[in-house]
Structure 1
């Protein structure tokens, strides 16, 4: 494991590793606004049905950005992993989306040497 990299898992443990220190909850938060024309297009799409690709792209980018911020927060605590990671998404008004990635920052070490 690279010292600069942070392992993130949605599991409560990390197979092959042992937790040696727990720092507590960390999160990465992103709030993004969609432009007015995108909102109008999305309104029409809700009538006609189907995927709103602009929003799909926006939320995918937001999740990735939230995970990057989560890693940064974990590093600031001295952690090299985040366990039990989850996402939470909310609308703010009708023009913004909030995406939070959160979990427990920990330091892990290999429980055994990997086979050569």
Structure 2
């Protein structure tokens, strides 16, 4: 099965955030949307980072509660693992497991077109 089939079943909605946003703004988005990660994009829709619940925990552990006013750019993960629509989900599951990555943006021609989580892939495999 390919990533595009996963997106066809779950939808291709991607929640994004600007790197200039605050940690607080990102945390509010995560909470309000009930999601675990936001894709950080540039004005053209290119992926420049990913911001997750883990980034919040890491930042607060290092800087204390004052970190809430830091920018997403200061705290996001810049080395983003991405995938393509035609990637095989078994391969992607292996990569995600080995790198302990829970969310992977799907890109086409340098632009984000979807997001898959480890939970999405496990659910599809169980069907």
- Structure with larger RCO (C-alpha < 8 A, sep 6+): 1
- Same fold, judged at TM 0.5 (above): no
Q: Per residue, is there more strand in 1 or in 2?
A: 1
Please indicate the TM-score interval, normalised by the length of the shorter structure: under 0.3
Q: From the two aligned structures, give the one with the greater helix fraction.
A: 2
So what's the TM-score if we normalise by structure 1? 0.27
